[in-house]
């Protein structure tokens, strides 16, 4: 019995020590599970609520401005530049004479063809006179044959008839020669008309390539000589490559806004004028043209700009200000005031126009969204409203 009692006395202190250690561990565990923020005062917060409004889905892209019309003018026939009446920067109207070429060989050929045309015309007139003469002769012989059968033989009448047919054939041949000469002359005169270079449309001269006296080779040759470049910048084209994900939302007439680095603070309005209706297999984008009016000429072709293309207008959707959203690993969430604590709520965002973000799911519209806090927010942290105490509550989604 003494041995058993002494053993019990030795075990009791050890058991008491183990119980004490276990109690400390349980206390530490409860302390670690408690929010760290309970030790501090509640965060002071401001709240706002989601609103229903309009969000415009836009595509931001870069573009280089191109003129509405542009042409490099060449001569149809080779020659020497006799005169040029415009220079770089000049504004011109459609049909204005810009330059004149001197083509001596064509002018000589024109004189030759004009002489041939006059000669062919004279031959036609001669043939016409011969036909008239043969018609008169034949008619007289026939009249004599009827009145005095013995005075004229049938053979003489037949000979006169044959001469008439021959004269008519000669007239037809002369007329054909005249037509050929006139066709050649008309062709040459058309070519000579190309020696006068005129403006094909209203615009401005952006480049002048030659000076008087220079040899200008025809535009149909292997090494043509350009004369001037003319552009019409009353309207400008901005080419935008729309990604595959947004291609279905592009429509003719959709609004667009242009900003250029050269003119900070100004926005120029335009519309979608056309698009390719097909994706580029290499880039998976669709080429879209935005037309921008430029009546005062302040925009210049070649300027680099940024286009905001309106793809879709969403009416009466639930929205939040961008500052009220928090993002973590490309996922969005908000903090809702709920019974004196901040509650984290995950949301799915839609269109973003810079002023408001569409909330696709996660909120119903009645929540009290924490828009501003006096410290870092986390799920479950105690809060109170800036104008009341304690914190207000907002219904959950």
The tens digit of pLDDT for each residue in 6-43 reads 444 554 455 555 555 444 454 444 444 444 444 468 89
Q: Residue 356 to residues 64, 200, 260: CA-CA distances in angstroms?
A: 29, 49, 24
Closest CA to 378 of 48, 51, 45, 50: 45
How far does Cα 298 stand from its chain's mean position?
Answer: 19
How confident is the prediction for the chain on average, in pLDDT? 85
Two tokens, residue 193: 């008309």
**Terminal CA-CA length for the chain:** 71
In CATH, the architecture of 37-56+316-385 is Beta Barrel (2.40)
Two tokens, residue 79: 């020659």
CA dist., res. 205 & res. 198, Å (int): 12
Tell me the backbone φ, ψ of residue 230, rounded to 5 degrees. Answer: -125, 140
Q: What is the pLDDT of residue 4?
A: 45
Q: What is the pLDDT of residue 76?
A: 85
Q: What is the pLDDT of residue 28?
A: 47
Running along the chain, 397 residues long, what does each successive block of 10 average in pLDDT?
45 50 47 46 90 89 94 91 94 95 83 89 92 89 81 83 91 92 88 88 95 89 90 95 92 93 91 94 95 93 92 89 89 92 92 87 90 90 76 43
The tens digit of pLDDT for each residue in 40-67 reads 688 999 999 999 988 888 899 999 999 9
Q: What is the CATH number of domain 62-67+232-313?
A: 2.40.30.170
Q: What is the pLDDT of residue 388?
A: 56
Q: What is the pLDDT of residue 35?
A: 45
3-state secondary structure 221-262: CCCCCEEEEEEEEEEEEEEEEEEHHHHHHCCCCCEEEEEECC
Q: What is the pLDDT of residue 110?
A: 82
Q: What is the pLDDT of residue 41?
A: 87
Q: CA quadruple 23, 25, 28, 34: dihedral positive or negative?
A: negative
How far does Cα 385 stand from its chain's mean position?
Answer: 51
Tell me the backbone φ, ψ of residue 183, rounded to 5 degrees. Answer: -65, -45
Q: Are 225 and 74 in contact (CB under 8 A)?
A: yes
77 SS3 class: coil
Domain-by-domain residue ranges, the chain? 37-56+316-385, 62-67+232-313, 104-193
* Element (DSSP H or E) covering residue 104: helix 104-147
Q: What is the pLDDT of residue 198?
A: 94
């Amino acid at each position: 019995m003494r041995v058993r009692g002494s053993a019990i006395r030795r075990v009791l202190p050890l058991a008491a020590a183990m119980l004490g250690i276990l109690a400390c561990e349980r206390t530490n565990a409860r302390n670690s599970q408690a929010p760290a923020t309970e030790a501090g005062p509640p965060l002071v917060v401001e709240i706002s609520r989601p609103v229903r409004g309009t969000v415009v889905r836009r595509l931001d892209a870069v573009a280089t401005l191109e003129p509405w019309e542009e042409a490099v003018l060449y001569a149809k026939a080779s020659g020497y530049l006799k005169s040029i009446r415009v220079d770089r920067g000049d504004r011109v109207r459609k049909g204005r004479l810009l330059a004149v070429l001197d083509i001596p060989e064509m002018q000589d050929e024109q004189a030759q063809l004009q002489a041939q045309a006059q000669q062919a015309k004279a031959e036609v007139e001669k043939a016409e006179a011969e036909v008239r003469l043969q018609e008169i002769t034949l008619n007289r012989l026939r009249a004599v044959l009827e009145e005095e059968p013995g005075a004229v033989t049938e053979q003489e009448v037949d000979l006169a008839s044959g001469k008439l047919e021959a004269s008519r054939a000669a007239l037809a041949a002369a007329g054909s020669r005249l037509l050929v000469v006139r066709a050649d002359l008309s062709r040459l005169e058309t070519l000579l008309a190309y020696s006068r270079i005129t403006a094909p449309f209203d615009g401005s001269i952006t480049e002048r390539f030659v000076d008087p006296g220079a040899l200008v080779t025809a535009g149909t040759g292997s090494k043509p000589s350009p004369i001037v470049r003319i552009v019409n910048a009353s309207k400008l084209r901005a080419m935008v490559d729309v990604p595959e994900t947004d291609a279905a939302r592009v429509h003719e007439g959709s609004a667009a806004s242009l900003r250029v680095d050269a003119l900070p603070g100004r926005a120029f309005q335009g519309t979608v004028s056309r698009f390719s209706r097909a994706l580029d297999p290499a880039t998976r984008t669709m080429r879209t043209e935005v037309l921008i009016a430029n009546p005062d000429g302040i925009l210049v072709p070649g300027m680099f700009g940024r286009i905001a293309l309106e793809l879709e207008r969403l009416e009466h959707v639930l929205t939040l200000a961008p500052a009220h959203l928090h993002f973590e690993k490309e996922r969005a969430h908000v903090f809702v005031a709920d019974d004196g604590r901040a509650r984290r709520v995950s949301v799915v965002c839609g269109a973003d126009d810079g002023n408001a973000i569409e909330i696709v799911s996660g909120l119903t519209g009645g929540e009290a969204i924490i828009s501003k806090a006096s410290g870092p927010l986390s799920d479950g942290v105690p809060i109170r409203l800036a104008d009341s105490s304690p914190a207000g509550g907002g219904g959950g989604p």
